[in-house]
């Protein structure tokens, strides 16, 4: 499956679109759109794939997705299996072409407009800034017309004012290297990995999926993501392990097995390499929070 060019439901002259998603699971196709996306996750867990980044999302998270960055908020399997489960997200989409009218070319607003116009990365918001942005995204649902537009502008300026606090999670520069054939392959590889990470996956199997030799596949994947496939697979597994450590009462050995590792010592080594903490230290950190 290729990266889907997604159409945001707005008129050509509207510079923003506000959307509330309440459903069992979020839209699960890898897609892209020219609008900058700011999303607050109120309910739901899963994996976020954006650009060359993969990580877990959970309630309270706020992300900025840059223009045309392929992404998907892939809900966990339980949200497909249990109808009582709900995912809720509040998203604001900013159309820079519609935004760049004469008003935004004044000296007072040019720097703000330039910041968003050059936004081709993905960021995660943290701490008080994430709470402030989440609050404004929630407030938008109660506003209409000019008051809503003012709230949108206030939100955009708040992020701009605290731009040094944004945590970069994905850079869009690598997209220039991917042609349409590469998009199809990469989409298939990502989807396969998210669905099958819990079992042994060989390079031969995933190379066959991409219709490449093992050597060609390794070059292909590293050229486009700047990391090996095994590194990517381990990141997916460890992110899921972190979720299990936070939510379930399992032994480290049980968690290692559930996320696809057959060797506990290897799991411990990879866990510390990715998180900079041992599983035990990670659990202690969660308890302090």
How many Å apart are CA 30 and CA 50, to the nearest integer? Answer: 9
CATH number of 204's domain: 1.10.10.60
Q: Where among 152, 172, 192 does a domain terminate?
A: 172
How many Å apart are CA 178 and CA 224, to the nearest integer? Answer: 7
Residue 23 shares a structural domain with residue 55: yes
Question: Which of these ranges, 22-36, 106-120, 198-212, has the smallest mean pLDDT?
Answer: 106-120
- 89 or 179, greater pLDDT: 89
Examine the pLDDT at 146 and tell me if it is beyond 80: yes
Residue 146 shares a structural domain with residue 114: yes
Examine the pLDDT at 286 and tell me if it is beyond 80: no
Give the confidence band of 106 by pLDDT, cuts at 50, 70, 90.
low
Give the confidence band of 152 by pLDDT, cuts at 50, 70, 90.
very high
For the whole model, what pTM was predicted?
0.61
Give the confidence band of 164 by pLDDT, cuts at 50, 70, 90.
confident
Residue 196 shares a structural domain with residue 160: no
Residue 101 shares a structural domain with residue 228: no
Q: Which residues contact 145 (CB under 8 A, 6 or more apart)?
A: none
Burial 5-21 (b: 16+ CB within 10 A, else e): ebebebeeeebbbbeeb
Residue 76 shares a structural domain with residue 199: no
Q: What is the mean pLDDT of residues 224-240?
A: 87
Residue 78 shares a structural domain with residue 125: yes
Residue 167 shares a structural domain with residue 50: yes
Residue 156 shares a structural domain with residue 185: no
How many domains would you assign to the chain? 2
Examine the pLDDT at 1 and tell me if it is beyond 70: no
Question: Which of these ranges, 1-15, 137-151, 188-202, 219-233, has the smallest mean pLDDT?
Answer: 1-15
How many Å apart are CA 122 and CA 34, to the nearest integer? Answer: 13
Residue 26 shares a structural domain with residue 130: yes
Over residues 48-83, the pLDDT tens digits come to 989 878 889 999 999 999 999 999 999 999 999 988
Residue 20 shares a structural domain with residue 100: yes
Strands 4-5, 31-32: pairing kind = parallel
């Amino acid at each position: 499956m290729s990266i889907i060019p997604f159409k945001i439901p707005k008129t050509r002259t509207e510079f923003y679109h506000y959307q509330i998603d309440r459903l069992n699971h979020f839209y699960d196709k890898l897609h892209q759109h020219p609008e900058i996306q700011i999303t607050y996750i109120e309910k739901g867990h899963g994996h976020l794939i954006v650009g060359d980044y993969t990580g877990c999302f959970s309630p309270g998270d706020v992300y900025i997705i840059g223009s045309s960055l392929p992404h998907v908020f892939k809900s966990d399997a339980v949200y497909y299996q249990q109808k009582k489960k709900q995912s809720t997200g509040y998203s604001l989409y900013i159309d820079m072409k519609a935004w760049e009218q004469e008003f935004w070319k004044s000296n007072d607003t040019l720097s703000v407009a330039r910041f968003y116009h050059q936004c081709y990365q993905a960021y995660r918001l943290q701490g008080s800034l994430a709470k402030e942005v989440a609050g404004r995204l929630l407030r938008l649902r109660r506003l209409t017309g000019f008051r809503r537009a003012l709230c949108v502008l206030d939100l955009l300026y708040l992020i701009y004012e605290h731009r040094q606090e944004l945590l970069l999670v994905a850079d869009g520069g690598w997209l220039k290297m991917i042609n349409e054939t590469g998009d199809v392959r990469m989409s298939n590889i990502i989807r396969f990995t998210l669905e099958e990470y819990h079992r042994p996956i060989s390079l031969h199997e995933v190379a066959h999926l991409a219709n490449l030799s093992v050597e060609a596949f390794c070059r292909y994947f590293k050229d486009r993501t700047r990391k090996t496939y095994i590194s990517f697979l381990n990141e997916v597994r460890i992110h899921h392990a972190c979720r299990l450590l936070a939510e379930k009462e399992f032994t480290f050995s049980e968690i290692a097995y559930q996320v696809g590792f057959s060797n506990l010592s290897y799991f411990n080594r990879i866990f510390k390499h990715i998180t900079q903490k041992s599983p035990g230290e990670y659990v202690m950190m969660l308890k302090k929070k």
